[in-house]
Chains A and B, each alone.
Chain A
Amino acid sequence: MSIQDCGTKGRMDTNDSLRVASLWHSMHAISQQLSPVNGCSGIELLEADTFDLHCFQSLPGTKFFVVCEPGTPHMESLLRYIYELYTDYVLKNPFYEIEMPIRCELFDINLTQAVQSDRVALLGR
């Protein structure tokens, strides 16, 4: 599990992040149980008072999520782009062990760039 914190307040320590991650995993599964219709693939967007949480689940089951300001557009495409970065810089890295925390410099650099350019694009409206 890897977390990039681009905010200032409200940081969590590692233990809390682990708890939140496992809580999310169970709730993702429960939300599928409660679906009134067949074929539910879990929570994609959670809207709260002060933030929105977007979740993207890849085919092998890895979940990516992004916490943003309420109503921020294009988060789904950002998540899919981050998944592309993940497959390119992390999975294709021969030194990376699956399930271990991600410590790939190129991934971090490109990730920060993607988030910054997104921010600039939105501010430049």
Chain B
Amino acid sequence: MQFFGGSEISPSPPVPTASGNNAHMMYVFNRNGVCLLYKEWNRPLHTLNPQQDHKLMFGLLFSLKSLTAKMDPVNADKGNLGVPQLPGQGCSFHSFRTNTYKLSFMETPSGIKIILVTHPKTGDLRESLKYIYGLYVEYVVKNPIYSPGSPIKSELFNTALDQYVRSIS
């Protein structure tokens, strides 16, 4: 196993096929931590049951945001570590990468968090996440029958989302 010299330490997973399905899974949370949507396209490994998985994901994001705001080398005045921050307050991260996946994150001013987990070599997905938020506004928020804070069950949203995510490569 080559250590120095530019090659990767751990073997990376196989590059996705040309069918373009790059995404592993997606989460949407609201500001209270309720998981509004969880979609899975390719997830060979399930470590925990769904409730625990959602809670862990939300907790991880909360802590990462807190850490990022604290570690920010640019802003002088920061809150204390662990204090909940308002959406948009303080420096926030937009993605992190491990050797097996890349997690892209976006938080809207209303506290909606959109998370997309993809192949590690994926590029910057900030624009894609904004587009997905646009889909959410069109198909979910503008739906008079949808009550905020409840899981999303809109067929139109699911189809549009599926189509869009499959087209990201």
Q: Please classify the interface of chain A as helix (H, G, I), strand (E, B), loop, or mixed, using the class held by over half of its residues.
A: mixed
Interface string of A37-51 (1 = CB under 8 A from B): 111111111111111
Q: Say which size band chain B's interface belongs to.
A: 35 or more
Q: Which of B115-150 contact A (CB under 8 A)?
A: 117
CB distance from B91 to the nearest CB of A (A): 5
Known contacts: A12-B70, A41-B9. The answer to whether A34 contacts B53 by CB under 8 A is yes
Interface residue A96 (Cβ < 8 Å from any Cβ of B): no
Interface residue B108 (Cβ < 8 Å from any Cβ of A): no
Interface residue B25 (Cβ < 8 Å from any Cβ of A): yes
Please count how many residues in chain A sit with their CB below 8 Å of the partner chain's CB atoms: 39
Interface residue B30 (Cβ < 8 Å from any Cβ of A): no
Question: Bound state CA distance, A118 and B95, in angstroms?
Answer: 25
CB distance from B98 to the nearest CB of A (A): 5
Question: Bound state CA distance, A5 and B63, in angstroms?
Answer: 23
Assess whether A49 is in contact with B94, with CB atoms less than 8 Å apart.
Answer: yes
Question: In chain B, what residue has the closest Cβ to A23?
Answer: B67
Interface centre among A30, A45, A48, A53 (most CB of B within 10 A): A48
Interface residue B83 (Cβ < 8 Å from any Cβ of A): no
Number of A-B residue pairs, CB cutoff 8 Å, is 133
Which chain B residues border A31 with CB–CB below 8 Å?
60, 96, 98, 103
Contact of B25 among A10, A36, A48 (CB under 8 A): A36
Assess whether B75 is in contact with A33, with CB atoms less than 8 Å apart.
Answer: no
Interface residue A27 (Cβ < 8 Å from any Cβ of B): yes
Q: Which of A7-61 contact B (CB under 8 A)?
A: 7, 9-10, 12, 16, 19-20, 23-24, 26-27, 30-51, 53
Sorted nearest first, the 3 A-B pairs with minimum C-beta distance are: A36-B24, A48-B93, A36-B43
> Could you write out 30 A-B pairs with CB less than 8 Å apart?
A10-B72, A10-B74, A10-B76, A20-B71, A23-B66, A27-B60, A27-B63, A30-B56, A31-B103, A34-B57, A35-B47, A35-B98, A36-B25, A36-B44, A37-B43, A38-B100, A40-B100, A41-B100, A44-B99, A45-B96, A46-B68, A46-B93, A46-B95, A48-B94, A49-B92, A50-B74, A50-B75, A51-B73, A53-B71, A67-B71
Report which B residues bind A (CB closer than 8 A): 3-4, 6, 9-11, 13, 24-25, 42-45, 47-48, 53, 56-57, 59-60, 63-64, 66-68, 70-76, 78, 81, 91-101, 103, 117
Report which A residues bind B (CB closer than 8 A): 7, 9-10, 12, 16, 19-20, 23-24, 26-27, 30-51, 53, 67, 77, 80-81, 84
